[in-house]
Chain A
Amino acid sequence: MPKRTFGPFMRTVVFKRLQRILDDGTVAFAGGREADLHALRIAVKRLRYNIEFASSLAPDGAREALDLLARLQERLGALADFDAFERGYAALLDGLAPNDPRRIGIEALRAASQGDRDRALADARAFWLAEPPYPERLAASISAAFGSNSPKPEP
């Protein structure tokens, strides 16, 4: 059995994980649903970490790909925070009577957080769709770092 080496192994992993982001991103930004955005955020982190593991294989440490992933992860992280805040406010309000004066502050926080989430989603969508579109920029940066994933022709 041939020795399995780090370069080809990581190239396969990286391109597989890239494909996941390209698939998940389209769904997540079309609907803006929490579960889809969460799945995309996890996919982004996995690809980012795997590129870090393999960065010694790339000419410039895969800096552009890592930067693009960090910027998307930051936006998705903000959205995840607002979704977590929403769950927290809903739970707090559930435990308070309708006339409890503490509701005023929590309802104000909730409304502000929902507005912030809407703006964060619009910002993330714009980042994904900006020209040239994010999927193209990411795929190009990864191909530049690790080479094309298409099989090499037989000599």
Chain B
Amino acid sequence: MAKAPRYEGLNADTHVGEAARAILRALLKAVLAPAPAVLRGNDVRAVHDMRVAIRRLRSAMGTFADRFPHKKWRKLREGTKRIGTRLGEVRDADVHLAALRGARASASAAELPGIDFAIETLVARRRRALAEFAVEFSQFDRDGFTETLADA
């Protein structure tokens, strides 16, 4: 699994709001870092890292929801969920393709047409899912996110 970011300078007496901002900033950075590699197309590791980073960010957004203006926060959470869902479809295809390619190596001649059909179908599905993710990600409000963290 992708390594968790370091959340520097937090201790038991840190104000919750301050801790929330530090954690969320680190997690947003971790979400955005692999994005260029993901959008280039075939970087399975980058897709995985970004997917996990989005999961962490969503979890922190839930934990610290009370620290931020409700309406703005709900919109940001919905946007984060949408990019997570889209990228999850890409990741699911990657995992299944790896399993299928492994199975193909030991398949009988009679099984190959079906396995190849499954692989072709998944490759096409992954391509579509990545295109849909790219559209969703272009609408992800990273500036709104940063501003909300600064305002809170």
Q: Within B77-114, which residues are at the interface with A (CB < 8 Å)?
A: 92, 95-96, 99-100, 103, 107, 110-114
- Contact yes or no, A112 B7, CB < 8 A: no
**Interface flag for A115 (CB, 8 Å):** no
A106 to B112, CA, bound (A): 9
Of A6, A46, A109, A113, which is within 8 A of B10 by CB? A6
Residue of chain B at shortest CB distance from A101: B113
A85 to B94, CA, bound (A): 12
Q: Within A106-123, which residues are at the interface with B (CB < 8 Å)?
A: 106-109, 112-113
The main secondary structure of chain A at its interface with chain B is helix
CB distance from A124 to the nearest CB of B (A): 17
Residues of A within 8 A of B116 (CB): 105
A108 to B23, CA, bound (A): 46
A5 to B12, CA, bound (A): 6
**Interface flag for B19 (CB, 8 Å):** yes
**Interface flag for A50 (CB, 8 Å):** yes
- Contact yes or no, B13 A7, CB < 8 A: yes
Residues of A within 8 A of B4 (CB): 49, 52
Residues of B within 8 A of A105 (CB): 107, 110-118
**Interface flag for B138 (CB, 8 Å):** no
Residue of chain B at shortest CB distance from A17: B63
**Please, what's the 1-or-0 string for A32-75, where 1 marks a CB less than 8 Å from any CB in chain B?**
00000000000001100110110111000000000000100000
- Contact yes or no, A49 B96, CB < 8 A: no
Residues of B within 8 A of A46 (CB): 59, 62
**Interface flag for A126 (CB, 8 Å):** no
- Contact yes or no, A6 B13, CB < 8 A: yes
Residues of B within 8 A of A92 (CB): 117-118, 121
Residue of chain A at shortest CB distance from B59: A49
Residues of B within 8 A of A56 (CB): 7, 10-11
Residue of chain A at shortest CB distance from B121: A92
**Interface flag for A84 (CB, 8 Å):** yes
**Interface flag for B15 (CB, 8 Å):** yes
Would A88 and B56 be within 8 Å (CB), given that A70-B1, A109-B103 are in contact?
no
Residues of B within 8 A of A7 (CB): 11-13
B interface with A by C-beta (< 8 Å) = 1, 4, 7, 10-19, 23, 55-56, 59-60, 62-63, 92, 95-96, 99-100, 103, 107, 110-118, 121-122
A interface with B by C-beta (< 8 Å) = 3-9, 13, 45-46, 49-50, 52-53, 55-57, 70, 81, 84-85, 88-89, 92, 101-109, 112-113
Nearest 9 Cβ contacts at the A-B interface: A105-B114, A7-B12, A105-B111, A102-B114, A49-B59, A6-B19, A106-B114, A6-B14, A52-B4
* 14 sample A-B contacts, Cβ–Cβ < 8 Å, listed by A number: A4-B16, A4-B17, A7-B11, A8-B12, A45-B59, A49-B4, A56-B11, A84-B96, A88-B96, A88-B122, A106-B114, A106-B118, A109-B111, A109-B114
